[in-house]
Each structure stands twice: as C-alpha cells, then as structure tokens.
Structure 1
C-alpha cells in the first residue's frame, strides 16, 4: 500500500518501489494536486493511495502471460518441428539432399528477419489483440500446407511464407511486455513467456513421438501429420486469442483507474535517476524514430551478444533430435531424450530471471549463463568420437541450460535501455530481426557429411558464444561510463527539454 504523510516537515514515503514522491508536501499542496489529478488526468501522488503493487503485478501476470506463452509455444513448436519430421522420413520421402534440407531451414530466417521491423511498427499502430492473432492464423495455414507438399520446391516455398508470418510474434510480444512492466520487473515475465520455447522443445519431442504413430493414416506419412495437426492447433488457438489479449494499461478493464495510473507512472519513471516522470513524445509515428534506432550503437553491439545465444539456440533446436539419434539411439528414443533437457531449461530460465529482477542487474546473469553454453560445447567437443555418448548428451544438456536463461535476459536488457515507444519498437525489431539471422547461419553449421561427430558445428557455436560474451562485457562497461558521466553533470548543463532526448537524455540511466 502507498502511504502519504500529512505532515509538511517529513518527506512522503512509499512502499511501492519506484513510486517516489518528492518531499516536502503540505496538506494544501496535496489537495491542489488531487484537484489537478481529477481535472487533467495527470499522475500526482494522490491517485496512488490504496494501490498495492504486488496485487497489480499478479493481475497483469494472470491476464497477460498465459496467452503470450501459449502463442510463443506454438510459434516455436511450428518453427522447429521440421527437425522432428526429418528423423521420421521427411528428407527421404521428398528425395532431398542434405544441403537442400539445410536450405529449407535457412530461407525461413531471411524472411523472418526482414519482416520483423515492419511488423513491430504495425503492432504499435494497430491493436495487439488484432495483429497477433492475424499473423498467427497466417503461420498456422503455412504450417498445415507443409504437411501436403510434394517436393523440395513446395517445402521451400512454405518455409519462406512461414518466416514472413511468424516474424512479428517474438519481437512484438517482447515489446508488448515493456508496455506493461517496468524494467526491473520485466525479465521474469520475459522468461515466463520465453520458457514456452523450451516447453515447446520438450512438447515437440513428445508430440512428434505420438503423431509419428499415425504413419499411413489417410495415406499420409507420420511426418506429414506432425505439420498438419500442429498447424491446425495454431489456427484454433488464434481464433481464441483476440478475446484474451489486452491492448495496453490505459484500456485494461481488469485494472482499476488508480491501478492504471500507477502502472503508467511506474513506466514513466523507470529510467530516471531521480524518479523524474518523463512523458512519452512518440504518440505519432515519425521516421526519425526508426533512424534513431538504426544509428544506436548499443543495438549493434547487442546483436553480437544476441548471436552468441541464438546461434546455439537454433543449432540445438533444429538439430538436437539428429544429434542424439547419431549418438546411436533409435529415432523414437532420440525424440524422448530431448524432453528432460527442455523441461529443466524452462525451470532454470524462470529462476534465473527472478534472481536477476531482484538484483536489478542483467549483465552478470547473462554472462554467467553464456559461460555455461561455452562449457557445454567444450564438453561436447572433448568427448565426441570417444565412445561416450552419455557425456556428449550431458554437454548438450549443459549448453541448453545456459541458452534458455541467457536469452530473455539479453532481450530484456537492451529493450529497457531504449526510451520512446516507437524507438523501442523499432530497436527491438532490429535487434531481434538481425539477431535471428543467426538461425540462417546455424542452419548450415550441422552438415549431413559431418555426422555423427558434428565437430564443425559445435566449434562454430562455441566461437559465437565467445564473441557474444565479449560483447556483454563491452556493453556493460560502456553503460557504466555513460552513467558516471551523466551523474557528474550539473543540472544547469541540461538541455531545455531533456525528456525529448529519450535514452540520450542526461536524466536517463542505463540498467547494468
């Protein structure tokens, strides 16, 4: 609860983190502010009386996170199930070569990366409750059609279209979360949302194991039913989604008026060194917001960090069944052995995010879990070809335990260090879009001629992790230097309207 002092001699206090009220307040001044709040809709302290922050967060978590997680679970399931279909006979039935299969993986990421920026701008312009279900129906159709293709050309075309239609989901939802939660609360929610990807990895193996038993039903091979049934499930959920997605805190009917104002206030003061409330100036789209994002140094450095996580992420998600099968296991066993890896990773990702939010720091957690990715691939490289498949499996396990906690931290860290709605929307799309070109690269790391050792693929993954870890260190040191420089500035040196500068404002402090 927020408590306001009635005595002018003492500063007002607040139990709600970040809702800091500048002292001193006289009773007369507070009465005037109450009138101003009512007449102008501003966010003075009086409107927060009786607001319980934890209760507000629980309300938002219950109403937002389950549906967002369901959307991403289906997206990641539909994106990665081609790896399960491969070991059930897809390549042989379509008479494809190893390079052709890798190319069907690669082209997805070209269109996926290209359409993320326009999709995020459309999400900002249109209602999330309309745009997200729309693209969901589109990729569900693409997925279903993958189950009836007749050859390599058809599979290639459907994968290209799948990339276009899925492009807007992850950057859109990652941005959408920043519209609801302040930056020190965001990673836990990003992790809950992203952990759906690791659950999808586990569910994909179980589902593929079960659906493959339908081999021959309706004259279709088992791998075709994997695409058809999962695509139809996506379309079904998309029809429900518009009724479960809330567009913004300003219009959220499940929050009271005071709670809505508190959420907006928390978002406006989150980047300020002195709890100064900044008003967003980005109500109307201007091309300069996209240019600002494209010219922002932190985004391009963040992309290297992103590649250090997503190259292993896509390499594992697309090839894990094949890697395990090539250790000497049957295809059905390989499908099932992916399950414990992904389930454990989901749990670790959520716990790590909770810890990072409590510490109010991102880089230490990211760096620690990226070091786990590196350690995992070192174990794999050291044990491959030595007749110890259990050790190789353990190394993959360690790598995945590093990937899934590191990824939401990486996305959250950069997103909260950009100010302005349109710049953040554009910046996150650029970061995630170009970052996802890692999928195009890692699709070609694991070549069929390198089986069963895959030395080249594992070595390349390790190299990207090392580069990504270096980027994390440079990014943190750069943020520290800029924060210290701004701390030393005299307020008289501030420009006339510092709020209009977004994250370049002397009032803005980068999160470390």
Structure 2
C-alpha cells in the first residue's frame, strides 16, 4: 500500500509581491517496504501566478507505481546515516573537540590550496617585473590580456566545472583539477611566444575555475552557518600567505638573475616552483579530504555521526549527485542570484586589475623593480591580519553583512588614497589597505554556502556568482591602459566607483534577507511533523518554511 499526499503551499516570492504556489508531492512508504526510514523520497514542484487555498488530496497507488516513483537519487548523501546520527546529542565539549579536529585537518589542507592558488594566479604579476614582457616581446596593451585571458577561461568553464563538482566525488575531482593545473604551470616554463603564454593562462583559468566552488561545497558540508564566515575568512587570508611566499621567492630569483647565477630565466623557474608545489597540494587533497564527512578516515564512527548531527541545523545536508532542474528554475527567480552576480562584478573589477598590475603600480611610485616586489608584501600582511580579525568579529556578533559593510568602507578609503592622494606615502598606504579588499568577496562565498539550500540550487548559485567574479576580473585589467602608465589614474578612479556601487548592492542583499526572515517569522509555517529527517531532504530555502537567511 502506498499513500500519496499532495499539498499546495502558498508562499511569497522574494523577487516581487506576486504570490507563487509551490506544489509538493510527498510519497510515504510503509517502514517495512522502503529501503530507507525516511518517508519523503521524491517531490515535484509547479508554480501558479495566483494564490489558491491549501488543499490535501490522498489517493492509493499500486506497488508498481510506488516503485516507479521511489527515487533514491534524490536523497541527500547524509541520509543513510541520518537516523543513526539523530540518536546522538552534540554537547558543547564534543562539538569543540570535533570542530578543532576538522579545523586542524580539513581547514589546513584547503587553506594550503587557497594560498597556492593565489600564488599561481599572481605568478604573471611577479613575472612582469622579472623580464617576461621583454622575453615574450609584449607591446602596448598585450600584458593586460594576460590577466583577462585567465578569467576568460575561468568564465567559459565555470558552469560545466560546477556541474562536475556535483556529479562526481567532490574530493577526487577537485584534486584532479589541482594536479592538472600544477602540471600546466610547470609546462608554462617552456613557452617561447606570447600566443603560447596566453594559451597556458587561459587553460589555467579553465582548471582553477573549480576551486572556489569546491571550497563553498566543503564549507557547507563540514561547518554550521555561524562557523562558515570565519573559516572562509581564513581561506581568503591564506591567499595573502600565498602572496607573501610568491613575492619572497620572486625577489630571491630576481636577485640571482641580476647576479647572473641562474641557468634559465627567473620567471621560468618561478613557474616550475609554484607548479610543483601545486601538484603536491593536489595529492594532499586526494589522500586527506574525503568526498563527504561520513567517509573521513581520520574520524571515528561516533565523530562521523556527530559531524552529520552538527550540520542538521543548516537544513542543507551534504548534497547529492542528482542534478535537479527545478532547483535551477527556482534560483532564476531568486533575487539573491542577481545581487550576488553584480556584487561580484563590482568587487572583482578592482581585484582583477590590482592582482595583475600591483607590482607595476608600486614601481610607478618611484621604486625599483626588485624593491617593488618587496614593497607589495605589506599588503599581504595587512590582508592576513585584517581577514582573520574581521572573520573573528563575525563569530562574536554573528552578522556577516555588518562585517562586509565595514570592509567595503575600508576598500573605499583605500581606493580614494590611491586615486586622489597627492603624497606618495599616502598612495602607498592605499595600496596596503587594499589588503582588506577580499572581505565583500568572502561575504558572498559564505552567503552562497549558508543561504542557498538545495544542492543543485547551491551549485548553480555558486556558478553564477563566480561568473560575476570572472566578469569583473576580465574587465579589471582592461581599465589599466598603457597610455596612462605608470600611474594608471583611470583604473584607480574605476576602483572607487566600483566600491560605491558595491555598497548599494550589499544594502539590497541586507534588505531582501531581513524582510524575508520577518515575513517567515510572522507566518510561522512548519513542515509536517511526521516528515522525518527533513534537514536532509535536499529542500531548497524556498521550499522549506523553517529556513532562515543568515544576515
């Protein structure tokens, strides 16, 4: 015997005042006839433009029809252990020990990935003062296309890459991407012409498009909502660690090149070094990070169950490998999708230009090329300290958008100093304060991880967000015109304008989330009481009336 319950739930679409009715079809199976103790196995959604009264319709299906409708693929990867985990209580002491262990192992490894990814992306920036422009005969605005080509590859492959991260084992496919880009970096040392170099940078963007979406998925798998912003801040701070390491290595190679003690060009050796480091990091991801927490070899059985129980409050689970088109359709009517996209564009334009031209900009203040490599290191130091500090503050106040507003204010000060200050020391201070610039980007990543429920929706929202990031980084280097070298006044003015726009978009995100939370609190709707383990049903934030958006 199989019972079908069809329930129409009217909700208010956040994108407008129009009502949208989501129709859920729940299939309940007797305990003895279903391979899972979880009663919700499949749902369908339809939308209507008019509000209708809620209704309940019951009918009896044959066993053949029930078997056809039962689809284990729609369940979350954590569902298999959900009942067993529900028997455990995560006390504060056990939670602290488990989080410390996760931080020590998982966070350490993905922080190394973040550090070396940034060093890889910035390798062309370091190479620009080590002779690559002369060796590859770059003229005019050709160097601007080095940064743009990277993000062009990133942009083109972002969507298919995100699809592979959902369909394939997360850790294994991520490590494959990392190892491949490490090999490509090593091969970059062999390039002899500008077109070949552009090709390698484009392919590098293709491979590295996987990393940030993978980090978002790891964060949502392992950490609770109120823990994610701080850990994401640590990841971004490790970008600066990669910047420090890259600048130090580059300066030492440049010194030896001037002394004539190198067997090949310094920039070629640089690509080999960062490539080999990246390959080792990829192997660490393969052997240390599991595809899901319940597969972690470094957790005992009880800890694996506690890891499942801990993230139950996220109402998102570990995700699943079945792509659901209806969740993509929902994302397309979610205003957050477009706000994330345009916020990414606004904050990425300054990043795209600065990450490729910072060494040349500092050299334009009157410092020699070698010293310009060293003078950029305080920016990385400011980033490390600032990102960790702001991330920690978010754990105290637990309002990440407030932190993002404060970070944007510092970004605007940084841009104004670089663009409009007359004293060179004031301009240099602006460069250093720019180390805080990733705070809005960190906010977006944690928002995608925390506020996008439904695995297919989360993957899609993350992909569109990163496309915005790519778009901004594509535009950024083009704001630096060779005719304005070495001060690049037009690019600096564009940085100020972008941060002003970012303020307005961030305010819109705040308003949308606060208003929706208040609306849900007023309605106080609940999921059916007999709907067991609903946290692992792969429900989206629209489908789950108990979901609340992190502010």
Q: Please, what TM-score do these two structures have when normalized by structure 1?
A: 0.85
Distance 2:218 2:526 in 1: 36
Structure 2 match to 1:259: 303
Equivalent residues of 1:376, 1:398 under 8 A apart = yes
Equivalent residues of 1:142, 1:231 under 8 A apart = yes
Q: Residue 419 of structure 1: SS of its match in structure 2?
A: coil
User: What pairs with 1:51-450 in structure 2 (closer than 5 Å)?
Assistant: 52-215=94-257, 220-270=264-314, 282=320, 284-383=322-421, 386=422, 388-401=423-436, 403-450=437-484
Equivalent residues of 1:128, 1:245 under 8 A apart = no
In the alignment of these two chains, the number of paired residues is 468
Distance 1:141 1:450 in 2: 36
Structure 2 match to 1:470: 504
Shift of 1:310: 2.2
* 1:42-91 CA distance string (max 9 Å, x none): 44354546961111100100110111111121111111110111111111
Q: Residue 41 of structure 1: SS of its match in structure 2?
A: helix
Structure 1 match to 2:548: 509
Distance 2:319 2:369 in 1: 55
My pick for the range that moved more, 404-413 or 440-449, is: 404-413
Equivalent residues of 1:136, 1:234 under 8 A apart = yes
Distance 1:348 1:508 in 2: 31
Shift of 1:308: 3.0
Shift of 1:474: 0.7
Distance 1:223 1:314 in 2: 21
Equivalent residues of 1:311, 1:439 under 8 A apart = yes
Equivalent residues of 2:347, 2:440 under 8 A apart = yes
Q: Residue 235 of structure 2: SS of its match in structure 1?
A: helix
Distance 1:312 1:297 in 2: 24
* 1:345-378 CA distance string (max 9 Å, x none): 1111011111112322111100110111011111
Shift of 1:259: 2.9
Structure 1 match to 2:62: none
Structure 1 match to 2:4: none
Q: Which has the higher strand share?
A: 2
Q: Which has the higher helix share?
A: 1
Two-structure CA RMSD over aligned residues (Å): 2.7
Shift of 1:481: 1.0
* 1:424-465 CA distance string (max 9 Å, x none): 122112212332221111011122211222111011111111
Structure 2 match to 1:23: none
* 1:367-395 CA distance string (max 9 Å, x none): 11011101111112222xx4x22111001
Distance 2:413 2:224 in 1: 33
Question: CA distance change for structure 1 residues 496 and 460 in 2, over 3 Å: closer, same or farther?
Answer: farther
Structure 2 match to 1:27: none
Distance 2:222 2:547 in 1: 19
Question: CA distance change for structure 1 residues 39 and 105 in 2, over 3 Å: closer, same or farther?
Answer: closer
Question: CA distance change for structure 1 residues 313 and 119 in 2, over 3 Å: closer, same or farther?
Answer: same
Give ranges in structure 1 of 5+ residues lacking alignment. 1-34, 272-277
Shift of 1:227: 1.6
Structure 1 match to 2:24: none
Equivalent residues of 1:377, 1:395 under 8 A apart = yes
Shift of 1:295: 4.0
Shift of 1:411: 1.2
Distance 1:94 1:38 in 2: 56
Shift of 1:509: 0.9
Q: Residue 460 of structure 2: SS of its match in structure 1?
A: helix
Q: Residue 478 of structure 2: SS of its match in structure 1?
A: coil
Give ranges in structure 2 of 5+ residues lacking alignment. 1-36, 39-78
Equivalent residues of 1:309, 1:370 under 8 A apart = no
Question: CA distance change for structure 1 residues 282 and 244 in 2, over 3 Å: closer, same or farther?
Answer: closer
Q: Please, what TM-score do these two structures have when normalized by structure 2?
A: 0.79
Question: CA distance change for structure 1 residues 182 and 450 in 2, over 3 Å: closer, same or farther?
Answer: same
Structure 2 match to 1:458: 492
Counterpart of 1:487 (choices 497, 512, 521) is 521
Shift of 1:338: 0.9
Question: CA distance change for structure 1 residues 59 and 441 in 2, over 3 Å: closer, same or farther?
Answer: same
Question: CA distance change for structure 1 residues 346 and 259 in 2, over 3 Å: closer, same or farther?
Answer: same
Distance 1:395 1:138 in 2: 36
